[in-house]
Amino acid sequence: MKKRILSFAGLLLTAVLTLSLTSCDKDYEEANYLEGVWQGYISKDYYYSRYTYSENWVTEIQFYRRDAYGGTGREMDYDDYTGIYNYITFDWEVNHGNVYLYYNDGSSFQIWNYRLHDGYFYGELHDRYGDYIADFQLVKVGNWYSYNNGWRTWDDWYYSKEQKQVVEGEE
């Protein structure tokens, strides 16, 4: 009887460890997939809350992985019509199925209910308190290696545009 109990306890422990490691592996896989350059739109309410108007904005987000579950990044929002743009840097991590963004201006956001599939990144943006802010839809336009080896570099784009707004973060 004692042998059966020990055998059952061993199986139970193995199952628990397997399940707990599986959730970490999913975070690792999603952090790996996020690394790169994404471009697209966030619903207009997001831009309005940040810039007081919401027409024609496009967002480009770069995720660079520093470790297994997160890293650093840059977000650029630009208005093709007016030429106004803004960029800001952030740290990020994938933790328990959510993406957390910690911006250098002290703000932070959470990405919930997201999907990463076939080069697309869809999801919901929430503030640090969990309040819904906006939906977004981004497409992967490159990775750090192709982006920095002739396809297009961040600095080439940044320095080629006429500066019409103070840039937050890096100079």
Reported as a single tens digit per residue, the pLDDT across 69-101 is 999 999 998 887 778 888 899 999 999 999 999
Q: Report how far residue 78's alpha carbon sits from residue 47's, in angstroms, rounded to the nearest whole number.
A: 10
Which one is predicted more confidently, 22 or 78?
A: 78
Specify the DSSP element, H or E, that contains 50: helix 44-51
User: Closest Cα partner for 41 from 97, 109, 123?
Assistant: 123
The CATH class for the domain spanning 29-160 reads mainly beta
Q: Which sign, positive or negative, has the C-alpha torsion 80, 154, 147, 32?
A: negative
| Residue-range domain boundaries for the chain | 29-160
34 pLDDT higher than 60 = yes
Task: Provide the pLDDT for residue 171.
Answer: 42
150 pLDDT higher than 50 = no
Q: What are phi and psi of 17, to 5 degrees?
A: -65, -40
107 pLDDT higher than 80 = yes
Task: Provide the pLDDT for residue 75.
Answer: 93
Query: What average pLDDT does range 141-157 have in this prediction?
Result: 52
Q: If you ran DSSP here, which 8-state letter would residue 166 be given?
A: P
Query: What average pLDDT does range 139-159 have in this prediction?
Result: 55
- 3-state class (DSSP) for residue 63: strand
